[in-house]
Chains A and B, each alone.
Chain A
Amino acid sequence: KAGVTQTPRYLIKTRGQQVTLSCSPISGHRSVSWYQQTPGQGLQFLFEYFSETQRNKGNFPGRFSGRQFSNSRSEMNVSTLELGDSALYLCASSLGAGGGYNEQFFGPGTRLTVL
């Protein structure tokens, strides 16, 4: 079974631009979660989608948004990029609806650099 894939793997943008990252979950998985990892803040939860609905959202500004398609693929968008948005963005997929007992499978991440 193919693992979680993320595209692109690397991105370089300038301040003020916007960016869209893509995540394809493991076949059959309906939950996709997004995380941001920075040296200063570590791993932080961005949002989670299940069956095209956002179920949880972390403490990030409205510039960070996402969506999920009917095939469970998910995208996240960051508008008006700031230098502090430079990070590794990871997505993870899970089989079930939640309740906390689902193993998460992580993609390789997209490394975003904002200049």
Chain B
Amino acid sequence: KNEVEQSPQNLTAQEGEFITINCSYSVGISALHWLQQHPGGGIVSLFMLSSGKKKHGRLIATINIQEKHSSLHITASHPRDSAVYICAGSMEYGNKLVFGAGTILRVKS
């Protein structure tokens, strides 16, 4: 069993739909990161959170420490949101990240 698990692996949505990507972890982490990777490889950090909820534009990330679960929501999805979304946990010592397998999101117009 992987230490960080994501679901779904693949997700296709129509433009405008509300999207949720889930992440569960089984290890002790200091913070949960949501990352976005576009074709070509570049990774952008979307959120880093250790409790509660964060919002940036149409993106919302939540974390439940007791349940070891986090969700990434995209409201009013747009084709430009098409990318791979990766959750990762950072360990208590250092800056090592442990990654989920990623969710491939395709938003159709």
- Find out whether the CB atom of A101 lies under 8 angstroms from the CB atom of B97: no
- Closest residue of B by beta carbon distance from A93: B95
User: Quick one: given A35-B97, A44-B99, A45-B98, are A103 and B45 in contact (CB under 8 Å)?
Assistant: yes
Give the size of the chain B interface in residues (CB under 8 angstroms).
28
Point out the residue from A97, A100, A103, A106 that lies within 8 Å of B43, measured CB to CB: A106
- How far, in whole Å, are A114 and B91 apart by their CA atoms in the complex? 32
CB neighbours of B100 from chain A (8 A):
42
For residue A23, give the distance in angstroms from its CB to the closest CB of chain B: 14
Is A56 interfacial (CB-CB < 8 Å)?
Answer: yes
- Find out whether the CB atom of A101 lies under 8 angstroms from the CB atom of B30: yes
- How far, in whole Å, are A100 and B48 apart by their CA atoms in the complex? 10
CB neighbours of B101 from chain A (8 A):
42
CB neighbours of B29 from chain A (8 A):
100
Report whether over half of chain A's contact residues are helix, strand or loop; otherwise say mixed: strand
- How far, in whole Å, are A45 and B93 apart by their CA atoms in the complex? 14
Is B65 interfacial (CB-CB < 8 Å)?
Answer: no
Point out the residue from A33, A35, A99, A109 that lies within 8 Å of B93, measured CB to CB: A99
Query: Chain B residues in contact with chain A, CB under 8 A?
Result: 29-31, 33, 35, 40-45, 48, 50, 86, 88, 90-102
Query: Chain A residues in contact with chain B, CB under 8 A?
Result: 31, 33, 35, 37, 42-45, 48, 50, 55-56, 58, 88, 90, 92, 94, 97-106, 108-109, 111
Q: Can you pick out 25 interface pairs between chain A and chain B where the beta carbons lie within 8 Å of each other?
A: A35-B97, A42-B99, A42-B101, A42-B102, A43-B99, A43-B102, A45-B96, A48-B96, A50-B94, A55-B93, A55-B94, A56-B93, A90-B41, A98-B94, A99-B30, A100-B31, A100-B90, A100-B92, A103-B48, A104-B45, A106-B44, A106-B45, A108-B41, A109-B41, A111-B41
